[in-house]
């Protein structure tokens, strides 16, 4: 059980807690976000069981291009964040942060564009934080920075579908990507059937494992981006395995997020080198460096048992 400080507050947290499980197939991570109930956490446990006691699909590539991730920092802090991502020419920029305004998002994205230059790729992620009207307004303003796509600009599938139409009507040529509408949905394929997104963002743990996520990506038949859930390198390895097994990989993946953590549970972290991560599986050999308190460990053991009861 570990508790790792973040370099910058992200998703409203400043520490990432995770359980590291060890089985015959390798190390695994169980780390559903703290607000998730037992039923939702059970999918994360299913992914960990697959990683430690099952097997992953065979890879079709040995290297995964990844993007830098820029939290909702000030424009002045952007350069320092991007400097941690060796060779990454794509950046995902967090927008629609509570307590901030569109002007903050514009300044942040503008600074990323200035640093990456005209050939760099930029995508924004609102985590469902905008209403439909706000998303149209904000993305029209941000589209001047030649965005690759906008990830989960609105919370619901109906809003995403309407947004795609509204952007076209406004003359904004911008793809819409779905994340929460896939990984938190009872039916993760509904977003594809409703034509509510141009890109599917998939995460291994919330979808129940590498094979389950691969099946969803293939059936959705949308360009797929594999992303992390603020994992240690042990969790990232599962995302890398998924990205390696996809039939095609058009976009850089959001698997460089170990750089958001102040340390890691392995001496061989999965971080980008020349803009990519090699397909490999590290061993958790440093988890004793960042142990959680006995109280938090007890809380997580109870949570593990509750999630297991849901399987």
Domains annotated for the chain, with CATH where assigned, are: 57-288 (3.20.20.120)
Tokens 């992200």 sit at which residue? 10
Q: What is the mean pLDDT of the chain?
A: 97
179 is in an annotated binding site: yes
pLDDT tens sequence across 208-259: 999 999 999 999 999 999 999 999 999 999 999 999 999 999 999 999 999 9
Kindly tell me if the per-residue pLDDT of 77 is higher than 80: yes
Kindly tell me if the per-residue pLDDT of 278 is higher than 80: yes
Following CA atoms 268, 273, 276, 277 in sequence, which dihedral angle do they give, to the nearest 10 degrees?
Answer: -10
Q: Does the active-site annotation cover 203?
A: yes
- Residue whose C-alpha is closest to residue 26's, from 57, 56, 51: 51
Annotated catalytic residue: which of 16, 43, 92, 94? 94
DSSP 161: H
Q: Does residue 228 contact residue 254 with C-beta atoms inside 8 Å?
A: yes
Give percent of the chain above pLDDT 70: 100
Q: Does the active-site annotation cover 184?
A: no
CA distance 134 to 96: 10
pLDDT tens sequence across 40-58: 999 999 999 999 999 999 9
To the nearest 5 percent, what fractions of the chain are helix, strand and coil? 40, 20, 40
Instruction: Tell me if residue 247 falls in helix, strand or coil.
Output: coil
């Amino acid at each position: 059980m570990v508790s790792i400080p973040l370099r910058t507050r992200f998703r409203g947290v400043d520490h990432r807690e995770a359980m590291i499980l060890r089985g015959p197939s390798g190390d695994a991570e169980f780390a559903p976000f703290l607000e998730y109930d037992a039923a939702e956490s059970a999918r994360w446990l299913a992914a960990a069981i697959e990683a430690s006691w099952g097997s992953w699909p065979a890879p079709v590539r040995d290297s995964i291009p990844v993007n830098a991730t820029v939290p909702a920092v000030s424009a002045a802090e952007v350069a320092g964040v991007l400097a941690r991502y060796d060779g990454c020419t794509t950046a995902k920029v967090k927008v629609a942060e509570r307590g901030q305004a569109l002007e903050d998002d514009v300044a942040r994205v503008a600074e990323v564009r200035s640093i990456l230059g005209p050939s760099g790729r930029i995508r924004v992620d609102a985590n469902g934080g905008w209403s439909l009207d706000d998303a149209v307004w904000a993305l029209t303003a941000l589209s001047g920075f030649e965005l690759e796509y906008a990830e989960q600009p609105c919370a619901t599938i109906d809003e995403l579908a309407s947004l795609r139409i509204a952007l076209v009507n406004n003359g904004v040529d911008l793809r819409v990507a779905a994340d929460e509408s896939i990984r938190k949905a009872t039916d993760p394929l509904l977003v594809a059937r409703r034509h509510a997104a141009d890109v599917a963002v998939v995460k291994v743990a919330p979808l129940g494992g590498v094979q389950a996520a691969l099946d969803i990506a293939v059936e959705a038949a949308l360009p797929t981006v594999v992303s992390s859930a603020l994992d240690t390198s042990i969790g990232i390895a599962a995302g890398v395995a998924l990205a390696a097994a996809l039939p095609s990989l058009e976009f850089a993946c959001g698997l460089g997020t170990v750089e958001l953590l102040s340390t890691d549970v392995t001496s061989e972290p999965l971080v980008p080198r020349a803009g990519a991560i090699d397909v490999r599986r590290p061993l958790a050999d440093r988890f004793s460096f960042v142990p959680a308190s006995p109280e938090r460990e007890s809380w997580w053991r109870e949570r593990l048992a509750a999630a297991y009861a849901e399987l």
